[in-house]
Structure 1
Amino acid sequence: MPAKLTSSAPVLLVRDVVAAANHYRDTMGFHYERFWGETPDFVILHRDGMYLMLRKAEDPAHVIPHWTVCHNMWNAYFWVDDADALHAEFVENGAKIDYGPCDQPYGCREFGIQDLDGYDIGFGQVVSPPS
């Protein structure tokens, strides 16, 4: 039997690992156990079996949100079971909503947030087969 993939984790370069991790915790419900580095420069966030890693950029110029080089492109995307409920949770927690829940032609009901470093993170619920 071939080996199988069991999880994945996007990695984002950020300006301040602690501030970014706390933002993900406070506005999006992610959790972390610890930071790495004497001056924290790495953290692994998790929520509902999904992971996201944050690494301090050596140069702030390296923090480049994808939407700045490719129109409407996310830096990370998570599939969810209830986009509207998650959107409401994020709004209540003060997340910066990039765009509200909408139905996309590829069969997802989705919304996007923007984090402290300007990264767009998408959250989509499959609602129908892609058209």
Structure 2
Amino acid sequence: MTKPTLAGIAPQVVVNDAVKTAAYYQAVLGFKLIGFFPAETSTAYVMLERDGYQIHFGGADSQLHINDHIRCGTPDFLIWVPEIEAFYQEVTAKGAKIRQEIMQRPYGREFIIEDCDGHWLHVCD
């Protein structure tokens, strides 16, 4: 019997307005819209994709869970981009809010983006 292999993973994140968040991830972070379910509304479920990786958002009328609010300095997402400087230039040119500039760490370079909902995206090379 062949060992099962994971083919992908998609975080599901609750946001206040799925339409607004989808627009941000497309315009600023370069994701492509897969679709809204059941329809394009603020409380819909929305799926986005970039380079074969998906992220899903669900709109809800509630307080958002932001990791940094619970454990100081903890990002909500880790994203690995070997071309970190080119990605940094791409997203800053599109208006990304940078919480931490590119810096060298013992394990590699990193920077942090704060998205339109306050979630932190920790970008590493």
Cα distance, 1:12 vs structure 2:
1.1
Q: Which amino acid aligns with 2:57?
A: L
- Corresponding pairs, count: 122
2:35–2:48 contact (8 Å) kept in structure 1: no
TM value normalised by structure 1 = 0.87
Listed as ranges, the matches of 1:7-22 within 5 Å are 7-22=8-23
Q: TM-score, normalised by structure 2?
A: 0.91
Structure 2 CA distance for aligned equivalents of residues 39 and 82 of structure 1: 33
Write out aligned runs for 1:66-105 (5 A).
66-105=67-106
Q: Give identity over the alignment, percent.
A: 28
Q: 2 CA distance for matches of 1:39 and 1:19?
A: 10
* Equivalent in the alignment of 1:47: 50
TM-align CA RMSD: 1.2
Segment drifting more, 90-99 vs 31-40:
31-40
- Of Structure 1 and Structure 2, the greater strand share is in 2
| Counterpart amino acid of residue 43 in structure 1 | V
Q: Hey, what's the Cα distance between the residues in 2 that align with 1:46 and 1:33?
A: 7
1:123 is aligned to 123
Using the TM superposition, give the Cα deviation of residue 39 of structure 1 relative to its aligned residue in structure 2, in angstroms. Answer: 5.4
Structure 2, unpaired ranges of 5+: none
Q: Given that residues 9 and 53 in structure 2 are in contact (C-alpha distance below 8 angstroms), is that contact kept between their aligned partners in structure 1?
A: yes
